[in-house]
Amino acid sequence: MHIDASAVTQPQGTPENNNYAFALSSLTTLFFMWGFITCLNDILIPHLKGVFDLSYSQAMLVQFCFFGAYFLISLPAGFIVKKLGYQKGIVIGLLVAAIGCLCFYPAASLHSYPVFLSALFILASGITLLQVSANPYVSMLGDAKTASSRLTMTQGFNALGTTVAPFFGALLILNQAADALTPQESAASVQMPYIFLAALLLALAAIFAWLKLPHLESTEEETALSAEEGSAWQYTHLVLGAVGIFVYVGAEVAIGSFLVSFLAEPTIAGLQEHEAAKYITYYWGGAMVGRFIGAAVMQKVAAGKALFVNANVAVLLILIAVFSSGTIAMVSILLVGLCNSIMFPTIFSLAIQGLGKHTSHGSGILCLAIVGGAIVPLLQGFLADFIGVQPAFLLPILCYLFIAYYGISGSKIRQLTN
């Protein structure tokens, strides 16, 4: 769910201004943490698959439970934030995420995959609440004219979290699992890393409970407008944009989820899991670098055209990865991360153009579409079980073809007539 930063009041000249620099630093850490935790799923999937002897589709329940929380918890999280405020929402989100991390300890002790999945759902519920709560704070901590630059910076640190997480997971989870003698010992390798993450989240919760941050309130204007006739669903470019977000998040997460298994294939690189995991960094790192390159390029190139080109290049790279082998296939699939870089913000911005009073409603619809990260990886898991890991990558191609269509045609502003 998206909170429209324009719908909150801007405090000026308050005593809290002295705390803004420290608060922004804390929020930057927050963005880093949820990017880091989300990307650790790419390590957990091959790890739990081996520990519990799962099929690919069963292993993809990790992403199903994690991203399913976005769909189920976004609206309740919005209600919590509306009742308690953004700062308390951040604190509650951090506490819920910490509880989810702590649940990994009994899950490993009990050697229970359902308990692991329950822990992931709790963890993702906390992160969903953080996303609903945190973004407005970044916009409000300083001059409104520089709000975009602050949001770009914090999103950059989110991408940094996704980039370094694979090294952390490979070192502290997969390396230890490789030395384990029994499945129980292998499962236990996740306990201390997630206890450490829980401690960091609890420390952040204490910081945000202590900080004196500005009290943000929604303006009455948006509430009044929302009661007027009409709906964001009348705009076809928004509806198609929601589909675009669904397939984009689904494709990005599915590829990341299967990278370790893909690189472990004898015809690709034949890497051990703990070695293959390190290459995930290049996939997510490409997305981080491409974000900054894309921001500069799209100053001169129309967003829809840039989206069209990136999606088609992604299709070409995946085709090469599916129908080749060795280093060529490995490099091709990793380069898809570079193509992914601009897709989410570009689809999002194109989809909410021209919505006027329905912008906030449209933003909420788009954020609910993140549930694609739960569905597409699961479908690719079923394909991998039946036709193999490498051919299963044909599924993301369909996703990117839709994104290419959206960039060149579907994003044109259209409103259905009654």
Domains and CATH numbers, the chain: 10-217 (1.20.1250.20), 225-418 (1.20.1250.20)
Residue 377 and residue 250 in contact, taking contact as beta carbons nearer than 8 Å:
yes
Give 217's pLDDT tier (boundaries 50, 70, 90): low
Q: CB within 8 A of 136, min separation 6: which ones?
A: 3, 5, 8, 86, 216
Q: What is the pLDDT of residue 374?
A: 94
Q: What is the pLDDT of residue 416?
A: 62
Question: Which of 63-67, 267-271, 286-290 has the weakest average pLDDT?
Answer: 286-290
Q: Between 70 and 268, where is the model more confident?
A: 268
> Looking at residues 64-78, what average pLDDT do you find?
88
Phi then psi dihedrals of residue 8, to 5 deg: -125, 150
> Looking at residues 128-157, what average pLDDT do you find?
64
Q: CB within 8 A of 200, min separation 6: which ones?
A: 33
Phi then psi dihedrals of residue 24, to 5 deg: -65, -40
Indicate whether 33 pLDDT > 70. yes
Give 278's pLDDT tier (boundaries 50, 70, 90): confident
Residue 128 and residue 74 in contact, taking contact as beta carbons nearer than 8 Å:
yes
Indicate whether 216 pLDDT > 60. no
- Tell me the residue type at 393: F
Distance CA(166)–CA(409), nearest Å, equals 37
> What is the tens place of the pLDDT at every residue in 335-369?
999 999 888 888 888 888 887 777 767 877 887 89
Give 5's pLDDT tier (boundaries 50, 70, 90): very low
Distance CA(286)–CA(358), nearest Å, equals 34
- This prediction has a pTM of 0.81
Nearest Cα residue to 269 out of 334, 172, 319: 334
Give 11's pLDDT tier (boundaries 50, 70, 90): very low
Q: Between 264 and 74, where is the model more confident?
A: 264
Q: How far is CA 102 from CA 31, 51, 108, 235, 375, in A?
A: 20, 19, 11, 43, 26
Residue 289 and residue 341 in contact, taking contact as beta carbons nearer than 8 Å:
yes
> What is the tens place of the pLDDT at every residue in 227-237?
445 678 888 99
Q: What is the pLDDT of residue 97?
A: 96
Q: How far is CA 109 from CA 173, 180, 187, 229, in A?
A: 15, 15, 8, 55
Q: What is the 3-state secondary structure (H, E, C) of the chain?
A: CCCCHHHECCCCCCHHHHHHHHHHHHHHHHHHHHHHHHHCHHHHHHHHHHHHCCCHHHHCHHHHHHHHHHHHHHHHHHHHHHHHCHHHHHHHHHHHHHHHHHCHHHHHHHCCHHHHHHHHHHHHHHHHHHHHHHHHHHHHCCCHHHHHHHHHHHHHHHHHHHHHHHHHHHHHHHHHHHHCCCHHHHHHHHHHHHHHHHHHHHHHHHHHHHCCCCCCCECHHHHHHHCCCCCHHHEHHHHHHHHHHHHHHHHHHHHHHHHHHHHHCCCCCCCCHHHHHHHHHHHHHHHHHHHHHHHHHCCCCCHHHHHHHHHHHHHHHHHHHHHCCHHHHHHHHHHHHHHHCCHHHHHHHHHHCCCHHHHHHHHHHHHHHHHHHHHHHHHHHHHHHHHCHHHHCHHHHHHHHHHHHHHHHHCCCCECCC
> What is the tens place of the pLDDT at every residue in 176-204?
766 655 778 788 888 899 999 999 999 99
Q: Is 181 exposed, middle or buried (0-12, 13-18, 19+ CB in 10 A)?
A: exposed
* pLDDT above 90 as % of the chain: 44
Question: Which of 136-145, 171-180, 356-365 has the weakest average pLDDT?
Answer: 136-145
Residue 132 and residue 89 in contact, taking contact as beta carbons nearer than 8 Å:
yes
